[in-house]
């Protein structure tokens, strides 16, 4: 006998399948049916003279009545002992499904948090502005520092700059090579802290 659960593979029993037929478990609901029943014959006898009596046959009568809404097949299998209390026991949700759902929720929350950080950017230590932390932003800032160091090294630019950074608000900031290096090192540390927090949230540590 196949047991069909409310959550496919777990939960409460909603129906059972046997020999290719499915019986639905009673839900506790009721239904209104029209029922015909025989009222029968009634005899009235005069209490003062038993010789006088009359019999009245009321015959069949039809009326609506409320009955439990039970699948006849379910009742048949129940009466036959095929459906037992053990069979009707709830099956708890598998722990792996609980864990998988919690993991998905945790990861989604971490992704949402990180998206907020990307939208805001990171405030560079010692400054009042924010720089982007998306992949393109990191590549541009890393490239700027490499370009500045190379340009100074080959004599194509002075170490006094100016070397210009554009922040999240599209404002520009001019620095010497030493200042630029300090700013971008501070930026890298702040960005690394956000990445570490994102990893912690994502893994649930």
pLDDT tens sequence across 162-183: 999 999 999 999 999 999 999 9
Neighbouring residues of 65: CB distance < 8 A, sequence distance ≥ 6: 32, 33, 35
- Predicted confidence at residue 82, as pLDDT, reads 93
**What confidence category does residue 57 fall into, taking pLDDT thresholds of 50, 70 and 90?**
confident
Residue 83 burial (CB < 10 Å; 0-12/13-18/19+)?
Answer: buried
Give, in degrees to the nearest 5, the angle at Cα 94 between 87 and 86.
10
Alpha-carbon distance 188 to 48, whole Å? 115
- Predicted confidence at residue 96, as pLDDT, reads 93
- From the list 129, 29, 17, the residue with the least C-alpha distance to 77 is 17
Flag whether pLDDT at 49 surpasses 80: no
Flag whether pLDDT at 122 surpasses 90: yes
Residue 99's DSSP bridge partners are: none
Alpha-carbon distance 116 to 110, whole Å? 10
- Predicted confidence at residue 52, as pLDDT, reads 75
Neighbouring residues of 98: CB distance < 8 A, sequence distance ≥ 6: none
Task: Give this prediction's pTM.
Answer: 0.62
Region 85-92 average pLDDT: 93
Q: Do residues 43 and 30 touch, judged by C-beta distance below 8 A? A: no
Domain residue ranges in the chain: 1-29+69-93, 38-66, 95-203
**What confidence category does residue 191 fall into, taking pLDDT thresholds of 50, 70 and 90?**
very high
Flag whether pLDDT at 152 surpasses 80: yes
- Predicted confidence at residue 35, as pLDDT, reads 78
- Predicted confidence at residue 200, as pLDDT, reads 96
Region 31-49 average pLDDT: 75
Mean per-residue pLDDT of the chain = 90
**What confidence category does residue 60 fall into, taking pLDDT thresholds of 50, 70 and 90?**
confident
Region 24-46 average pLDDT: 79
- Predicted confidence at residue 66, as pLDDT, reads 82
């Amino acid at each position: 006998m196949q047991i069909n659960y409310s959550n496919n593979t777990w939960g409460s029993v909603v129906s059972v399948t046997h020999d290719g037929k499915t019986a639905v478990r009673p839900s506790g609901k009721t239904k209104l049916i029209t029922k015909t029943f025989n009222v029968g014959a009634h005899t009235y006898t005069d209490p003062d003279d038993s010789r006088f009596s009359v019999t009245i046959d009321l015959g069949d009568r039809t009326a609506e009545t409320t009955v439990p809404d039970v699948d006849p097949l379910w009742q048949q299998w129940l009466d036959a002992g095929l459906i037992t209390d053990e069979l009707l026991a709830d099956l708890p949700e598998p722990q792996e499904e609980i864990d998988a759902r919690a993991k998905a929720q945790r990861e989604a929350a971490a992704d949402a948090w990180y998206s907020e950080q990307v939208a805001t950017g990171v405030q560079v230590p010692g400054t009042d502005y924010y720089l982007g932390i998306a992949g393109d932003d990191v590549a541009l800032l890393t490239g700027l520092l490499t370009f500045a160091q190379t340009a100074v090294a080959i004599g194509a630019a002075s170490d006094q700059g100016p070397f210009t950074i554009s922040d999240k608000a599209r404002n520009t900031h001019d620095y010497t090579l030493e200042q630029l290096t300090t700013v971008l090192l501070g930026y890298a540390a702040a960005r690394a802290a956000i990445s570490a927090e994102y990893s912690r949230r994502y893994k649930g540590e």
